[in-house]
Structure formats: C-alpha cells, structure tokens
A and B are shown apart, each in its own frame.
Chain A
Amino acid sequence: MGTGIQGNEILLLITVGVLIMLLLAFALVAFFFLSQRKLDDERRTAYARELAHREQLLYSNLQTQEEERRRIAKDLHDAIGSKLNVLLLNLHRLQKQAPATPEIDETVREIFQVIHTTIETTRRISHDLLPPTLESFGLSEALSELCAQYRQSGAVDIQYQVNEEAPAASNKTVDLNLFRVVQELLANSMKHGPAKQVLLQLQLQAGGLQLNYTDDGPGFDPKAPGYRPGLGLQNIESRMRMIGAEFHIQSASGAGLRASINYKSIA
C-alpha cells in the first residue's frame, strides 16, 4: 500500500515535471518564433518603405533630368539657334554690302563655316537632348530616326521592325522613357563589345506595346557571383518601373543580349 502511494507520488511528480518543462519550452519557442516573425515583418516593412522612398527619389531625379533636358533643348533651339540664324542673315547682308577683296571674302567664308558648324552642333545637341521627332511624330518614328543615325555611322547593322496592330496606346512620358531605354541599350551595345548586329522590334498592340531588343555583343552572365547591374541597367529598370512596364533581360557570356519590354496602358 505504502509502495503504491509512493509510486503515485512519483508518477505525479514526473507528470507535473514533464508538463511544466514542456509548457516552459513551448512558451519560449512560441515567444521566439512569434516575436521574431513580428520583428522580421517590421524590418521588411521598413526596408520596403526605404526602397520605395529611394525609388521615388530616383523617379523625381529622372523627371527633373528630363525637364532640364527639355528646357536646355528649347533654349538651345529658340535662343541660341535663332540668334545664330540672325547672325547668318546679317553676315549675308554684310557680304553683299562689303567691298569684294580676297581677304574679306576669305574671312566671311570662314565666319560662314563657323556659324554653320555652330548651328549644326546646336541642332544636334538639342536633338540629342530631346528628339523633336519623338515630340512631333511619336515613338515609332523617333526609334526609326535613332536607328538610321546609328546605321549611318556604319558602326553597327541595325534592323528596325515595326508592327502596328493598333494605334499607339502610350503617352509622351511613356514614349520618352522607352526611347531613353533604347538609347541606353544601343549605347551599351556599342560600349561593351561592340555588337555588330542589332535587331529592334516594336509591336503596337491594343492597349499597349511590346519592344524587343537583340544584339550579338559579348553579353554578360547575370548569375555570375558578384555580378551587379551597372548604372545604365539600373536606370533602365527604374524607368520601366516608373511607367509600369515589364522589363526582362536575358544574356549569357558570349551569347549577346535580349531585352524585352511589355507596356500595358491603364485604361
């Protein structure tokens, strides 16, 4: 009988001991996982907020940059360009009125040449800053002009294909950002390699557009350890996020580059 009571007491002691220890262990584990999870969530939210803030700063930066380019292009065209033209006209008048001596003729010819070169340079800079074709005729024509410029330089063989299934559904901001992306991709193709052939395809679809870019340059391995996208690529990604377009890039060492952009306009 005595043994039985002692046995029950031991059983009770062990059972209570096991339960208390398990309770403590579970409490600690639950506290650890729940609190850690909460902490992780808070950390992630703060990080996402910081990223969004940085992204916003970048967007503002890009927008300011574009506005500044637009302003400089306009100033170059309207102020300097027009004044150069006035200068040219006055020089013509001067040439007619001035006595014709070989020295004066030579000097006037030189001034003409300098003014022409300056007008051309001003026009080029102004066009580079903001292509008037993009403003006046839209993305498709601006890309065509850009490709023609590269083709004329003889550095690369560019093919440009347009498929217009539907009228363009993009706006000026979207067009400008897509144009800048193609400019960046082309600059990269020329810089790293350079590529010998480039294929640019633009497909205007109902409610959006698809842009594909392929080059036969040296490419790069985005999965290589330590690979970090360059500033140009980061800029492209930011611009695409800014207009809400999907951007995909495929490349491998020695296998060129394929980039695709899918833009859907918000109705």
Chain B
Amino acid sequence: MGIRRLPGEFWILFAFLINELLTEVIAAWLSDSRINNMPLLHLYTLVSFWLISFFFRELFREKELVKQYFWPYMALLTLLLAINSIWLEPLDGFNSNAKALVQVLFISYGVYYMFDAFGRIDLLQPHDLSISLVSTAILIYNAGSLFIFMFAKLLNNGLLSRESQSGLWMVNSLLYLVFQLLLLLAIWVQVFKATKSSS
C-alpha cells in the first residue's frame, strides 16, 4: 500500500509509538539523573489513553454511540484522570488507579473490536488483519499487565522481595516486547502486503 496512503488510524498508531519512545527515553534520562520520573507516568497514561481512544474511534466512527458520546466520554475520562493525579495519587507517586482504569478501557476496546469485527472482516485483507493484530497486541499486553500495575504501589512499598518485584516487572517487559512486536507486524502487514481481491 505504501506509507503515504495509510488510513488515519495508522497515523494515530505512529503517534502512539512515538509517545512510547519519547516516554521511555525521557524516563530513562530522568532516572539516570536521579529525578523522580513518576509525573511522566501520569502524563503518559493520559496521552496513551487519548491516542488509543482516537485509534479505536477511527475504526468505529460510523457507530452512533461513538458519534454522540465520544467527546463527552473523552472529557469525562480526562477529568477523572486529572482528579486522580491531583488529589488521589499525587504526581510523584505511582498512578495505579488511573493506569488500571485506562488498561481496563483498553481491554474493553480490544474485546469490543473482536466482537464487532467477527464475521464482518476478512483476515486475508491486509487492513483487517493489521487492525486485528493491533487489537490483539493491546488486549494481550493490557490484560497481562493489568494486575501488575494494579498492585504497583504495593510492589514499590517493599512488601515483596526485590527478586519477586523484578520478576514481575520482567513479565511486564516481556509482554511489552510482545506488544511492540505485534504492532510492528501489524504495520508491516498494512504497509507491505498487497490487498487481495476476493468476495
């Protein structure tokens, strides 16, 4: 298909990936500089929520529910995340509530996509396969890491041994690697696989 003719949702996916990269780089730099990088996690949670929501909005833009309630929904969730970061989980600490909420929403998006697309798509068509791979990546990563982030505050409070903590974060890293590989595969399918003509 070529990169210039990519559908809108893929440009949002690129923005999401750039956000991931920037966050990783800045977080590492802050950590090396011995500066608390937790505020960055709050910002990252909000931005990734926006981008993934916009990504799925592109897929479901014809749905009446999305047409009517997308912006109020975004405003409400943004407000909730902001309230959480200001009053419930301060910026210098872990935002388990917000992260868990956003992950549950991402899981819901992925599950909804699969139920909605089932029987309607054709997996031999690059676009359909690609979007299914993105949804799979989002579903698997967020489902797998949901419990880790839900209990992240407890992990940091020293309730677990250092080995157990690093073991769990390694599981998260592994899932994140799978997530990134699936996204890479999805983009490759969309950009390089030719559309097949069929029914």
Contact = CB atoms under 8 A, between A and B. Distances in A.
Contact of A14 (B114, B119, B147, B199): B147
B148 A32 contact: no
A9 to B, nearest CB: 9
A47 B161 CA distance: 60
Interface residues of A, number: 27
Given A39-B119, A43-B122, A47-B199, A14 B144 contact: no
27 contacts: A3-B159, A10-B151, A10-B154, A11-B168, A13-B151, A15-B168, A18-B144, A18-B146, A18-B168, A22-B144, A24-B143, A25-B139, A25-B144, A28-B114, A29-B114, A29-B140, A33-B132, A35-B118, A36-B117, A36-B119, A36-B123, A36-B132, A40-B122, A40-B123, A44-B198, A44-B199, A47-B199
Contacts of A26: 140
Interface of B: 107, 111, 114, 117-119, 121-124, 132, 136, 139-140, 143-148, 150-151, 154, 159-161, 164, 168, 171, 198-199
Contact of A36 (B118, B150, B164, B199): B118
A170 B152 CA distance: 78
Nearest to B168: A14
Interface in A89-143: none
B198 A21 contact: no
Given A7-B160, A11-B160, A28-B139, 5 more contacts: A7-B159, A17-B147, A25-B107, A25-B144, A28-B111
Given A3-B159, A28-B139, A36-B123, A14 B148 contact: yes
A6 interface: yes
Main SS of chain B's interface residues? helix
Given A25-B139, A32-B114, A37-B123, A7 B147 contact: no
A7 B139 contact: no
- What 3 A-B pairs are tightest by C-beta distance, nearest first? A17-B147, A25-B143, A47-B199
Contacts of A40: 122-124
Contact of A17 (B111, B124, B136, B146): B146
A3 B150 CA distance: 19
Contacts of B171: 18
Contacts of B151: 10, 13-14
Contacts of B145: 18
